[in-house]
Amino acid sequence: MLRRALPRRSEARRIMLGTLLSAIGRGLTLPFLFIYLTDVRGLTDTRAGLVIGWYGAVTLALSPLGGTLIDRIGARRVVLPCLLIEAVGTGSLALVHSTGSALLVMTVIAIGSSAIWSGQNTILASLTDDGERQRVFGLNFALLNLGIGIGGMASGAIVDTARPGTFQTIYLLDALTYLMPALILLTLPAVGHRLGSRRGTDEPSPGGYLTVLRDRPFRRLVIFGLVLTTCGYAQIEVGFAAYAVRVAEVNPRVVAWALAANTVMIVLAQLLVIRRIEGRSRTRALAVVGAVFAAAWLVLGAAGLVNGESALLAALCVVACSAIFGFGETMLSPVMPALTNALATDELRGRYNAMSSMIFGISGVIGPVTAGPLMGAANGRVWVATVVGGCLVASLIALSLRRLLSPEQDGRATTEPVPTTPAPAAATA
């Protein structure tokens, strides 16, 4: 299965190796930014939240510019400087000492990260064809989670709030890992150049974001993504953790185990899922993702009902929720970018990928803001009902997208040659 999922071109394999290496560094620091700013650097909870929110706002604001630059000058010229800026910013977190310096450093990091994901997706799409693209994006997601898991386990053995130097070490190591994909891209001089054909002075412009938004199937896909991620991914950091600790009353360590279960599920199940969904309807797979996410939240809701009877059962429900959610991710991760790039043209591929990545940024603002008030109503039950209902609505939107797509775009077209029946020989006199 691994051999089949690997891209045919060696350049794409090396790009994916860069994803794995940088993900290890990301895993070193991912769970600890809030703790680092508050417990080590002395920022209040409110100011630390402001700093993290500022990062998300700047990234979201700059993402459209990143997509435009990718289309105009090529992903290579955008991704390389962004990786270097990201490395400088991440390493500079080790020097943060106040709210002002934290805001400055997070601004630098946001500038770097604003176009990396869309640029790398554009490069991978240019190195693969539609027949293998879904497998490649799925494997890339598994490598991303594998790297984060490795980094997370390593940092758990290193960091200590009583020793600020341990946090400075992991941020410097994270900065070094961002240089790995940059070095790999530098060894591939023919990769990542402008995809669209150069226009003559009398040729019309291929369009911009308005053209992308006029694409009715893609517009429906964006709506699906916003609903699903707002009720799914965006609830992990706030809604999931708050419900597990405050309503299900599990130990915070159980939340860490749950996140580990999520990573293990993705790494173990991704290749099998890629194989099972190949040649099947992408829109139906997206509808199944909504149903799986809804099932995960229902299991979490059950943890809040049984916590008074069995602490162990409540903990198992929390861990199971995260694992089930991870199974849904294994379907979403290959299908969403593959469908995005099936709808995109070469001239606007950067903008399509940037718009797709912006879905997570927008939902990342909406989800945490709405989770708090919903969590306070009816002991969290309103929140559970809302996210379950939202995920099911996303499934319906995905099913409605099917009629707007061609069989090829929906992944239903067979690549096998159709046997032809030889014509009967002409009768002889």
Share of the chain above pLDDT 90, in %: 60
Angle, vertex CA 333, rays to CA 329 and CA 338, nearest 5 = 150
Predicted pLDDT of residue 299? 96
pLDDT tens per residue across span 250-291: 887 788 788 889 989 998 999 999 999 999 999 999 999 999
Once rounded to an integer, what is the mean pLDDT over residues 340-363? 92
Q: Which two tokens stand for residue 113?
A: 């990260």
pLDDT tens per residue across span 386-403: 999 999 999 999 999 999
Predicted pLDDT of residue 413? 65
Homologous superfamily assigned to 1-188? MFS general substrate transporter like domains (1.20.1250.20)
* Average pLDDT of the chain, as a whole number: 88
pLDDT tens per residue across span 179-214: 999 999 999 999 999 886 655 444 555 678 999 999
pTM for the structure as a whole: 0.84
Q: Which residue from 20, 318, 313 is spatially nearest to 142, judged by alpha carbons? A: 20
Predicted pLDDT of residue 197? 61
Predicted pLDDT of residue 291? 97
Residue 416 has pLDDT above 50, yes or no: no
Once rounded to an integer, what is the mean pLDDT over residues 13-22? 94
Predicted pLDDT of residue 236? 81
Least confident of 31-40, 54-63, 198-207: 198-207
Predicted pLDDT of residue 419? 42
Q: What is the DSSP letter of 245?
A: I
CA torsion 137-143-148-154 (nearest 10°) is -170
Least confident of 38-47, 137-146, 396-405: 38-47
Region(s) of the chain under CATH 1.20.1250.20: 1-188, 213-406
Which pLDDT band holds residue 131 (cuts at 50, 70, 90)?
A: confident
Predicted pLDDT of residue 364? 80
Least confident of 12-26, 42-56, 69-83, 198-212: 198-212
Sign of the dihedral defined by the CA atoms of residues 57, 59, 60, 65, in that order: positive
Q: Which residue from 391, 368, 375, 353 is spatially nearest to 57, judged by alpha carbons? A: 368
Cα separation of 104 and 106, whole Å? 6
Q: Which residue from 53, 61, 60, 167 is spatially nearest to 99, judged by alpha carbons? A: 53
Predicted pLDDT of residue 379? 78
- CA 143 → CA 36, 149, 180, 268, distances in Å? 26, 10, 15, 11
CATH code linked to domain 213-406: 1.20.1250.20
Say if residue 241 is exposed, middle or buried (CB neighbours under 10 Å; 0-12, 13-18, 19+). middle
At 193, the amino acid letter reads: H
